[in-house]
Amino acid sequence: MTVQGWFCSNRVYEFKGWVFELSACSGPWPLKKNGDLRKRAGRVFYKVYDDFVKLSQCEKKKFRIGGGCQQI
């Protein structure tokens, strides 16, 4: 099988009860249970995200539930 290309999307994490995507362009944003973007990201979300940022890269990988780049 040869690689035809790559499909990349935002990485999705679940941390402390919050599911959020992390975009290189726009930063973190919380998601609803069905995967849609929430309308707002408030102080509570950003407090949890601050705790997430303090984790090492290895620890962050444990909370990743999807997204990233895939070969097609």
State the alpha helices, DSSP H only, in 1-72. 43-53, 57-62
CB 8 within 8 A of CB 68: yes
Model-level pTM greater than 0.75?
yes
Give every residue of the chain whose pLDDT is below 50, as ranges. Answer: none
pLDDT in the model for residue 1: 64
